[in-house]
Structure 1
């Protein structure tokens, strides 16, 4: 499964629009839908090249399979630039110049330079062959998993009062908002529903990549045995990466925090905001600034 920048920049917007309850419910619903999809059964029984596109063409119509393939191609030509741009923003934020100047146009704090370097790496890995691609995927995913687990542990410690100010946050921000936000100032249940619905739409983007299992089934040895085993473990990643992160972010950051409205900067990441806030409350010099 591809865990993307949606757990950083994207989820900030979700928290601001939907509130902690809307954020958690939206991600739970999308995770449930994903786990309920019968792709696993279909690709285990019919591990044919083309994955879901070939299955759609076989069991519905060739036109549907073609349309799904075009949409899949379009999805990734949009997602790749978006992810690389977000990665460049994250890297430059941690440079001294990046924290002082959000435009980042000179020296090591140069978004264009980092975008170019990352594109070179992406093309090089893809041209290097399947073995190199698999090895790089393993190491990058390992780093990603360790980072997310580390952030979750940090979030639990902060929420329980383990930060420098020793204040247990608990459900403070849930009580502050009632769990939901009036989307764009729209009053009543309509505003709360629209806030939740906006989370639902963005959460769908966060789960892009889970369909890779269906595509890889044709190249998997003994797919009738190995594909179901891989899919059965998906719920662990759904709960650990997405639902736990959404729940903790709702505990750590107020939906009204102005930093959530920042544009194109790592300073709007909920985990960055949470760490920044606990240092400010204790009047300590934060480990980073913006």
Structure 2
């Protein structure tokens, strides 16, 4: 597995710092779904703990994670720590004890005490992460997935992925590749109850979306698999986002009734 050394170091570090409170470590995201691209993907990890970890443990965990992030792929590590009690039965929105991704790196470096004290709360994204773990996840350490993670309802999963795309009309201009593929996989979920990676979502889009958008989706797929930077006509990506959001809203409303 690519970056196996990083994953092994992460496991050893987590075991040493969290100790007997560590229930398990689970890999999800593109690496678990066999569509990992080191230029475009991050490494998604979720830690489950039995009960509270201390401020000191959190601080040491963050210090080691930041160091390890330097060895990770371009998009880095994304990590959440969650208590077992919120995993089965699943609680939504899901409380978390600590979170890290590179977008928060500056906050930690500037004020680590503040970060460790305040980086906790509820995260709607965890419904999507738990769903991926249940279907594709890899147990790296600890208890088996089926013993830890309860079922996520389709309603909670849909709300979680909607949270990622609801601003697609604005976001697609800055992130055309990610938003194009995300919109495809969200629609695949709503229409056919499919839990897909970005890559598989794009492939689904080619099979199901109007031909006028095929070149856009194909370009997004090519960029996702390679080092290319996606450059597409702003008007076309805007039209695509508008049309997809209209359909997604309609499908989502049907599920919520």
Query: TM-score, normalized by length of structure 1?
Result: 0.26
Higher helix share: 1
Question: Which of structures 1 and 2 has the larger relative contact order (alpha carbons within 8 angstroms, sep 6+)?
Answer: 1
Query: TM-score, normalized by length of structure 2?
Result: 0.28
Higher strand share: 2
